Amino acid sequence: MSKKFMYVNRKAPYGTVYALESLEVVLIAAAFEQDVSLAFIDDGVYQIAKGQDTKGIGMKGFSATYNALGDYDVNKFYVERESLEERGLTEDDLMPIVYEDEDDDWAEKPSVKIVSRAEMAQVLSEQDVTLSF
């Protein structure tokens, strides 16, 4: 039976290497075909903000890669509503990340799920393995 893996992301991208490291571990671990979820809490919500343009800071942007995760069967992106609100953001500020449902004639479905802090706490408690970044 596959285990439930949760990657908890609480840092904005680019200022530290946490966000990129998390993404790379998710991609590597995806080869093991586990049940993977991602949580975006606190400044972590900025990792999937749309319109990221890194030209001016001379770093390679990696936001486009989140859109590839659906191909790796990673399609549960839990985003905390309170974290968005505290930062003056809404769901419209996030990339419209989707996946194609193989069991539903490749229909495109949203990967992002906005949850309350209480719901997030519940989701976090239901995992087998939690990796924090």
Partner 1 sequence: MALEINGQSIALDEEGYLENLSDWTPEIATALASGEDVELGDEHWDIINFLREYYEEYQIAPAVRVLTKAVGKRLGKDKGNSKYLYSLFPYGPGKQACKYAGLPKPTGCV
Partner 2 sequence: MSMLHIVNKSPFERNALASCLGHALEGDSVLLIEDAVVGAIDGSNFIEQIKVAMADKSVYVLGADLAARGMQENRVAEGIQVVDYAGFVDLAANNEKTQSWL
Closer Cβ to partner 2, 4 or 52, answer by number: 4
In the complex, the smallest distance separating the C-beta of residue 114 from partner 2, rounded to whole angstroms, is 16
Residue 75 · residue 108 · CB < 8 Å: no
Nearby residues of 87 by Cβ (< 8 Å), 6 or more positions away: 43, 45, 46
User: For 10-80, where are the E strands, in sequence order?
Assistant: 35-40, 77-80
**67 counts as binding partner 1 under rule CB under 8 A:** yes
Token duo for residue 99: 């996946």
**57 counts as binding partner 1 under rule CB under 8 A:** no
Residue 25 · residue 131 · CB < 8 Å: yes
**68 counts as binding partner 1 under rule CB under 8 A:** yes
**41 counts as binding partner 2 under rule CB under 8 A:** yes
**121 counts as binding partner 2 under rule CB under 8 A:** yes
Q: Which of 21, 24, 91, 128 binds partner 1 (CB under 8 A)?
A: 24
Place of tokens 């995806």: 30
Residue 23 is classified by DSSP as H
Closer Cβ to partner 1, 32 or 132, answer by number: 32
Q: Look at residues 65, 40, 39 and name the one whose alpha carbon lies nearest to residue 52.
A: 65
Instruction: Please report, as ranges, the residues that interact with partner 2 according to CB under 8 A.
Output: 8, 10-11, 18, 41-42, 82, 117, 120-122, 124-128, 130, 132-133
Instruction: Please report, as ranges, the residues that interact with partner 1 according to CB under 8 A.
Output: 24, 27-28, 30-31, 60-62, 64-65, 67-68, 71-72, 106
